[in-house]
């Protein structure tokens, strides 16, 4: 069976492309063209057929939520509840990143629980299984790794973060620059670096990249080039190791695209605000416009407990400058395994950030809703305000628990409502949409 990009190159408009065009209110021939060029991807899988979600050029910035067990907390029902909470809160994609318990079971139960495209990181399970089987993750056999990638794709993964961009050269850059302030923070990245150093071998995911592509292409699973050396501290941002991996991933994105596989590029972790635009421009230029999946970015390191807000600030900037998919961060980041409420808060913060970025990325169409909200507030039209809100249920609940005596106002101002007072003064000057 052919992939979305192969079919698009043949001029075939698939049902998935039509769905994306309809939901994004775009011409179907535009979506077809962008998919053919690899500038839009649609996470898919012939074995599962998830909800069609477009990621890339000209589309709304999408939000990913990540869940999964840890070695300390293994609760399969909780992960399913978190998956459903992410979907209910408006996540566009989901990553299942478990490292504890029966990893096949949790992956399959999560996939069955939602309609969203689900992604994962195969190195997590590979190193877990090697540790259980041999007592040492560094004894991972590459055949086990490739067999596992195939098994996970067969289960229905819509996209897969594979750490292909780490090689001997990137590790040498890390050594020569004197390591890092924040070290390495990618579990998959650290595992692969450790394996390479212990075995004095090249990364098989880089060395046999064509084999990786062949497996994912078979299922039309999007290959998301994992960011194993991403910065875990803003003072490590844009260092030689990170940029080297980005360069390699951009090269691999072009190779994979030419082979007929849908490709994403991941990055960059913790990044100060003034470097976000440059990072995105670099990725877009080097990759030929491949969709960019932003992890964070987190623009400060000192807000544990509020990193969903920190990341939202970085994500809004990322969306503004051209990022296509952002990964939510929860309040529990850097502190603990997220619970269901953390997941909901993380998704909602990321959705606000993506919306703000899109307002500036697409100013002609991205600000119409805000103008309508302004008019509804001016006119104290509460039902219209709820209809326009990103999260109407939350807005209604807050107002309902603190209802004013005069239902036309709110308890913030009560009798001193500025909108009501000004409306009386200028009611004769309204000119419809001109105001």
> In terms of domains, do 358 and 373 share one?
no
Same-domain status, 68 and 210: yes
CA-CA distances (angstroms) from residue 147 to 92, 143, 219? 28, 6, 14
Do 252 and 120 belong together in one domain? yes
pLDDT at 102: 98
Give the count of domains, the chain: 2
* Domain match, 42 and 187 both: yes
The predicted structure's pLDDT at residue 366:
79
Candidates 41, 47, 1; CA nearest to 17 is 41
Contact 267, 294 (CB under 8 A): yes
Give the end of a domain, one of 333, 364, 395: 364
Does 284 share its domain with 427? no
Token digits for 221? 């699973």
Tell me if 40 sits within 8 A of 65, measured CB to CB. Answer: no
| Model confidence pLDDT, tens digit, residues 329-372 | 999 999 999 999 999 999 999 999 999 999 999 988 879 999 99
Three-state DSSP class for residue 14: coil
Ranges in the chain, pLDDT < 50: none
Residues 381 and 273 in one domain: no
Predicted local distance difference test score (pLDDT) of residue 414:
85
Parent domain of 392: 368-434
Q: Which of 316, 344, 364 is the last residue of a domain?
A: 364
Q: What is the pLDDT of residue 386?
A: 96
Helix axes 273-287, 307-321, angle to 10 degrees: 50
CATH, residue 323: 3.20.20.540
pLDDT at 428: 76
Per-residue pLDDT at 12:
98
Give the C-alpha separation, 22 to 16, whole Å.
10
Report pLDDT digits (tens) over 257-301: 999 999 999 999 999 999 999 999 999 999 999 999 999 899 999
Domain boundary pick from 364, 384, 414 = 364
Classified as helix, coil or strand, 61 is coil
Is 223 found in the same domain as 332?
yes
Q: Specify whether 214 is located in the same domain as 103.
A: yes
Structure tokens at 50: 């998830």
> Given this model, what pLDDT does residue 405 score?
83
Question: Are residues 336 and 416 located together in one domain of the fold?
Answer: no
Q: Which residues lie closer than 8 Å to 423 by C-beta, 6 or more apart?
A: 378, 379, 380
Strand-pairing partners, residue 305, are: none
| Whether residues 309 and 372 fall in one domain | no
DSSP 231-300: BSSGGGTT-HHHHHHHHHHHHHHHHHHHTT--EEEEEEEE--HHHHHHHHHHHHHHHTS--EEEEEEE--
Q: Give the pTM.
A: 0.96
The reply to whether 409 and 275 lie within a common domain is no
43 and 141 within one domain: yes
């Amino acid at each position: 069976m052919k992939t979305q990009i192969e079919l698009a190159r043949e001029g075939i408009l698939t049902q998935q492309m039509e769905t994306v065009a309809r939901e994004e209110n775009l011409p179907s021939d535009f979506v077809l063209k962008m998919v053919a060029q690899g500038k839009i991807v649609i996470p898919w899988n012939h074995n599962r057929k998830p909800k069609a979600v477009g990621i890339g050029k000209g589309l709304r910035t999408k939000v990913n939520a990540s869940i999964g067990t840890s070695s300390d907390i293994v609760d399969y029902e909780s992960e399913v509840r978190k998956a459903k909470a992410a979907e209910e809160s408006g996540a566009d994609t989901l990553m299942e990143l478990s490292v504890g318990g029966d990893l096949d079971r949790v992956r399959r139960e999560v996939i069955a629980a939602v309609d969203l495209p689900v992604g994962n990181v195969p190195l997590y399970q590979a190193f877990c299984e090697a540790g259980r089987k041999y007592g040492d993750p560094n004894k991972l056999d590459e055949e086990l790794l490739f067999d596992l990638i195939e098994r996970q794709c067969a289960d229905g993964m819509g996209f897969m973060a594979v750490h292909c961009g780490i090689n001997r050269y990137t590790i040498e850059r890390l050594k020569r620059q004197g390591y890092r302030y924040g070290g390495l923070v990618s579990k998959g990245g650290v595992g692969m670096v450790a394996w390479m150093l212990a075995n004095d071998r090249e990364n098989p995911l880089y060395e046999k990249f064509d084999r990786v592509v062949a497996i994912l292409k078979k299922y039309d699973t999007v290959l998301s080039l994992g960011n194993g050396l991403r910065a875990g501290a803003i003072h490590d941002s844009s260092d030689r190791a990170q940029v080297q991996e980005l360069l390699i991933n951009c090269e691999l994105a072009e190779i994979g695209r030419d082979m007929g596989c849908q490709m994403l590029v991941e990055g960059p972790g913790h990044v100060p605000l003034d470097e976000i635009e440059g990072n995105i421009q670099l990725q877009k230029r080097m990759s030929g416009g491949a969709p960019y999946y932003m992890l964070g970015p987190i623009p400060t390191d000192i807000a544990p407990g509020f990193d969903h807000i920190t990341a939202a600030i970085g994500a809004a900037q990322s969306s503004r400058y051209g990022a296509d998919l952002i990964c939510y961060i929860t309040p529990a980041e850097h502190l603990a395994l997220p619970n269901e409420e953390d997941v909901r808060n993380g998704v909602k913060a990321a959705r606000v950030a993506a919306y703000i970025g899109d307002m500036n990325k697409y100013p002609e169409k991205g600000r119409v809703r805000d103008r309508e909200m302004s008019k509804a507030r001016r006119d104290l039209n509460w039902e219209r305000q709820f209809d326009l809100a990103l999260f109407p249920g939350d807005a209604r609940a807050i107002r309902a628990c603190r209802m004013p005596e005069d239902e036309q106002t709110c308890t913030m101002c009560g009798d001193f409502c500025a909108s009501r007072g000004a409306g009386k003064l200028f009611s004769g000057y309204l000119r419809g949409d001109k105001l």
